[in-house]
Amino acid sequence: MKIQYLQRILIGLGLALALAVPWASATNYYVVTSSQQPSPTPPWTNWGWAHTNLIEVVAAARDNDTVYVTNNATYWLANQITVSYAITVRSWGPGGILDPTTTILDGNYPNTTNRHFTLNNYWATIAGFTLTNGWASPETNLSANGGSIYIYYGMVTNCIIMHNYALSTNVASYNSLGGGGIYMGPNAGNSGSVWNCTISGNSAKMSGGGTINLNGTWRIANCTISGNSASISSAGMHIYAASTIVSNCWIVSNFATYQVCPGGILLANGAQCHNSFILGNTCDQTAGWNEGGGVRIFGGSLIRNCLIANNMARYAGGIAAYDNSTTIQNCTVVSNYASVGWGGLYIGRTNVALKVENTIIWGNSSADTYSNWIMSANVGAVSTFSNCCTSPKFYNAYGNLTDVNTITNDPRLISTTDFRLQSSSPCINAGVNRDWMENALDVYGNRRIDNFRRTVDIGAYEYLSKGTLFGFQ
Q: Are 80 and 118 in contact (CB under 8 A)?
A: yes
Whether 207 maps to a domain, the answer reads yes
Percent of the chain with pLDDT over 90: 63
- Give CA–CA dist 27/37, Å, rounded: 20
Question: Amino acid identity of 22?
Answer: P
Residue 163's pLDDT band, with cuts at 50, 70 and 90, is: very high
Helix (H) / strand (E) containing 60: helix 54-60
Q: What is the pLDDT of residue 110?
A: 85
Q: How many domains does the chain have?
A: 1
Binned at pLDDT 50, 70 and 90, residue 174 comes out as very low
Give the pLDDT band (50/70/90) at residue 322: confident
What are the residues whose beta carbons fall under 8 Å from the beta carbon of 400, sequence distance 6 or more? 375, 379, 380, 381, 382, 383
309: containing domain: 74-404
Residue 364 confidence (pLDDT) above 80: yes
Q: What does the pLDDT look like over 205-223, one tens digit per residue?
A: 878 889 988 889 999 999 9
Whether 422 is in a domain gets the answer no
Residue 3 lies in a domain: no
- Residue 370, pLDDT > 60, answer yes
Identity of the amino acid at 335: S
The tens digit of pLDDT for each residue in 32-85 reads: 998 898 889 999 999 999 999 999 999 999 999 999 999 999 999 999 999 999
Reported confidence tier of residue 9, pLDDT bands at 50, 70, 90: very low
Positive or negative torsion for Cα 93, 99, 101, 104: positive
* Domain presence at residue 20: no
Q: Are 333 and 306 in contact (CB under 8 A)?
A: no
Alpha-carbon dihedral of residues 399, 403, 406, 408, nearest 10 degrees?
A: 0
How many whole angstroms separate alpha carbon 209 and alpha carbon 237? 7
Average pLDDT, the chain: 86
pLDDT at 470: 38
Are the CB atoms for 165 and 203 separated by under 8 Å?
Answer: yes
| Alpha-carbon torsion (431, 437, 442, 443), positive or negative | negative
Residue 461 lies in a domain: no
Residue 16 in this model has a pLDDT that exceeds 60: no
For the cut 70, the answer to whether the pLDDT of residue 342 exceeds it is yes
Please report whether residue 67 resides in a domain: no
Is pLDDT of 466 > 80? no
Q: Are 264 and 311 in contact (CB under 8 A)?
A: yes
- pTM of the shown model: 0.91
At 435, the pLDDT band (50, 70, 90 cuts) reads: very high
On whether residue 38 sits in a domain, the answer given is: no
Segment 234-284, tens digit of pLDDT: 899 999 888 999 999 999 999 987 666 789 999 999 999 999 999 999 987
Relative to beta strand 277-279, strand 250-252 is parallel
Q: Are 306 and 342 in contact (CB under 8 A)?
A: no
Specify the CATH number for the domain of residue 173.
2.160.20
Contact 276, 246 (CB under 8 A): yes
Q: What whole-number distance in Å separates Cα of residue 242 and Cα of residue 29? A: 38
- The verdict on residue 142 lying in a domain is yes
